[in-house]
């Protein structure tokens, strides 16, 4: 059979299928569900051998190539899918007959690989993917879950991306196909469950890199409650979901700086039942005194992690570009005489304006505990002078950008900079240092909150209690390089961590730090407007 007759037959079949009459019903003429078609005797007969997971991967790849409209796959070899496959085979000049499922998948993988720039490292989200060994772990686990990630070769390409998308869709997670650390551990934990049925499912929303995967694995083993973790790019997402009454998640990690606005929305979060969390007795008193300014009486939240906002610098690169650089001053980023030269080796501002702005307010001579119009005007003017020199970077790209040497100067969260420091030691990308700006900065807290409409509030309380165990909190500090709020964890934390001033600031540094007080909606809106101007450049 010639290629022409193959494609003509496929096209005729697709036309025939799409011409089927819609089923009539008493309530009107409505479309029925797409049905699988018998391809016996057609040029695409071999495609009837696709497994549902493979077919879902095929449909996602066809979407990425533009042959199918966006949407979740129906896992049915329907008319639209047959037509899309025929179009793809025509486009690539397929000369064979009856392509096997494996041949067709490889052809689709190759087309997406080329179209999206995977070979050049420019595919969307490719920079946040885990390392090769971890990709291989995920591929093994996805196969164990009956997924179709392609060869188990440690290469994250279109096949593995589509398999991750299928996993995300099946489990009610955000669908983007990206194999981040969080998604890797979601997949690995799911494979550990295997065919066993969990007693319940708990959905949580956090920032990337603020939950120790080992803590979730230990919780699942102890309780047989399955945890599905989603992450956000910007902390304002949790606030928006809570104020909208979302029921998507059972537990969220909320940025303390925006907690008061959440509380202003009646019924956004529940009052925490501390009787269900006996380990709250282990919480540090000083931490709870701080967080009372964010959540009066700590009634609706539990303090989880704390840290600072400061300067992350590649010591060698900064010294090379600006020999007289003030390594502990916001002038390094906000004074054009420094920022201009440093832009040659990359300046990054983490995309969290509510947390970054306090340091800028302090630099321009204001008091971020009482931000006024004059302060906002000064911040706007300062950022306008450097907008051509800096890049606003989401948290998901910030750590690796600093660790790899893409950025030599930055402002971000303490734990992220310390994580970049450790990664840079391995890759020998330079010496990463962290310093709280001498002008002053924010002392922040991450808070556990339970949405009012959470479906599994009891399990959410149980997971919080698990995180407050001293041994779990100490292990989390070691893994994440963020300080925790459990006083009993101190003896379990290594001395090298307790003596790290970036992790546990000395008294003189603490005197320069303050909690970000609640901002009015008007002030926050103006800050976001100023930040949006900076992001546009």
396, pLDDT greater than 90? no
CA 334 to the chain's CA centroid = 28
Q: Which of the four pLDDT bands, split at 50, 70 and 90, describes residue 293? A: very high
- The domain covering 307-444+517-536 belongs, at the CATH homologous superfamily level, to Periplasmic binding protein-like II (3.40.190.10)
d(CA 245, CA 242): 5
Domain with CATH 3.40.190.10 in the chain: 307-444+517-536
- What percentage of the chain has pLDDT greater than the value 90? 67
pLDDT tens string 450-478: 999 999 999 999 999 999 999 999 999 99
Q: What pLDDT is stored for residue 12 in this prediction?
A: 46
Q: Which of the four pLDDT bands, split at 50, 70 and 90, describes residue 194? A: confident
First to last CA, the chain: 58
Residue with tokens 């925490």: 272
Q: For residue 351, which of 478, 481, 531, 167 has the smallest C-alpha distance?
A: 531
Q: What pLDDT is stored for residue 102 in this prediction?
A: 78
332, pLDDT greater than 50? yes
pLDDT tens string 97-153: 778 877 888 888 888 888 887 766 666 556 667 889 999 999 999 999 999 898 999
- Which of the two residues, 76 and 135, has the higher pLDDT score? 135
pTM: 0.84
377, pLDDT greater than 50? yes
d(CA 312, CA 17): 60
7-11, 39-43, 156-160, 276-280: least confident range: 7-11
Kindly report the average pLDDT of the chain as a whole number: 89
Cβ atoms within 10 A of the Cβ of 330, count? 22
Q: Which of the four pLDDT bands, split at 50, 70 and 90, describes residue 37? A: low
443, pLDDT greater than 90? yes
Q: Which of the four pLDDT bands, split at 50, 70 and 90, describes residue 82? A: confident
Q: What pLDDT is stored for residue 123 in this prediction?
A: 63
Q: Which of the four pLDDT bands, split at 50, 70 and 90, describes residue 1? A: very low
Q: Which of the four pLDDT bands, split at 50, 70 and 90, describes residue 18? A: very low
d(CA 212, CA 479): 6
Cα–Cα–Cα angle for 320, 324, 327, rounded to 5 degrees: 90
d(CA 307, CA 137): 32
522, pLDDT greater than 70? yes
Residue with tokens 């832009």: 343
Q: For residue 230, which of 194, 267, 256, 202 has the smallest C-alpha distance?
A: 202
pLDDT tens string 270-292: 999 999 999 999 999 999 999 99
Q: Which of the four pLDDT bands, split at 50, 70 and 90, describes residue 362? A: very high
Contact in structure between 255 and 238 (CB atoms under 8 Å): yes
Residues present in the chain in total: 537
32, pLDDT greater than 70? no
* Residue 30, SS3 per DSSP: coil
Q: What pLDDT is stored for residue 121 in this prediction?
A: 65
Contact in structure between 493 and 474 (CB atoms under 8 Å): yes
d(CA 95, CA 98): 10
d(CA 295, CA 185): 31
């Amino acid at each position: 059979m010639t290629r022409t007759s193959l494609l003509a037959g496929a096209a005729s079949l697709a036309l025939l299928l799409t011409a089927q009459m819609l089923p009539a019903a008493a309530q009107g003429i409505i479309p029925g569900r797409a049905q699988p078609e018998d391809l016996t005797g057609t040029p695409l007969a071999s495609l009837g051998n696709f497994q549902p997971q493979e077919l879902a991967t095929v449909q996602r790849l066809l979407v990425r190539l533009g042959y199918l409209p966006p949407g979740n796959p129906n896992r049915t070899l329907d008319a639209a899918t047959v037509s899309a496959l025929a179009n793809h085979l025509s486009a690539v000049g397929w000369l064979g007959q009856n392509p096997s499922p494996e041949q067709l998948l490889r052809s689709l993988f190759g087309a997406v690989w080329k179209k999206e720039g995977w070979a050049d490292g420019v595919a969307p989200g490719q920079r946040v993917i885990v390392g090769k060994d971890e990709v291989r772990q995920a591929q093994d686990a996805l196969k164990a879950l009956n997924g179709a990630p392609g060869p188990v070769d440690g290469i994250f390409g279109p096949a593995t991306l589509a398999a991750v998308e299928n996993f995300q869709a099946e489990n009610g997670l955000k669908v983007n196909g990206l194999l981040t650390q969080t998604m890797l551990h979601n997949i690995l934990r799911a494979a550990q469950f295997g065919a066993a049925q969990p007693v319940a499912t708990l959905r949580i929303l956090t920032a990337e890199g603020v939950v120790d995967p080992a803590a979730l694995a230990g919780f699942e083993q102890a309780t047989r409650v399955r945890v599905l973790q989603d992450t956000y790019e910007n902390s304002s997402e949790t606030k928006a979901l809570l104020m909208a009454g979302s029921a998507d998640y059972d537990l969220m990690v909320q940025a303390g700086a925006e907690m008061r606005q959440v509380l202003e929305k009646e019924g956004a979060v529940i009052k925490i039942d501390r009787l269900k969390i006996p380990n709250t007795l282990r919480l540090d008193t000083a931490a709870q005194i701080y967080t009372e300014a964010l959540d009066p009486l700590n009634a609706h939240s539990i303090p989880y992690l704390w840290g600072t906002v400061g300067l992350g610098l590649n010591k060698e690169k900064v010294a090379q570009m600006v020999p007289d650089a003030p390594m502990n001053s916001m002038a390094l980023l906000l004074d054009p005489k420094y920022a201009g030269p440093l832009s040659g080796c990359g300046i990054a501002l983490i995309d969290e304006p509510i947390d970054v702005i306090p340091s800028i307010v302090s630099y321009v001579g204001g008091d971020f505990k009482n931000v006024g119009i004059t302060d906002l005007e000064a911040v706007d003017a300062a950022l306008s002078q450097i907008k051509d020199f800096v890049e606003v970077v989401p948290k998901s790209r910030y750590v690796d950008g600093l660790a790899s040497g893409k950025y030599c100067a930055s402002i971000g969260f303490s734990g992220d900079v310390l994580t970049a420091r450790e990664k840079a030691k391995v890759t020998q990308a330079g010496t990463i240092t962290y310093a709280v700006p001498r002008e002053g900065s924010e002392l922040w807290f991450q808070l556990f909150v339970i949405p009012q409409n959470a479906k599994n509030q009891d399990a959410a309380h149980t997971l919080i209690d698990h995180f407050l165990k001293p041994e779990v909190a100490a292990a989390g500090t070691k893994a994440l390089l963020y300080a925790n709020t459990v006083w009993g964890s101190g003896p379990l934390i290594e001395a090298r961590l307790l003596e790290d001033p970036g992790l546990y600031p000395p008294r003189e540094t603490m005197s320069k730090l303050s909690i970000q007080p609640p901002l009015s909606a008007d002030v926050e809106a103006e800050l976001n407007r100023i930040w949006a101007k900076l992001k546009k450049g």
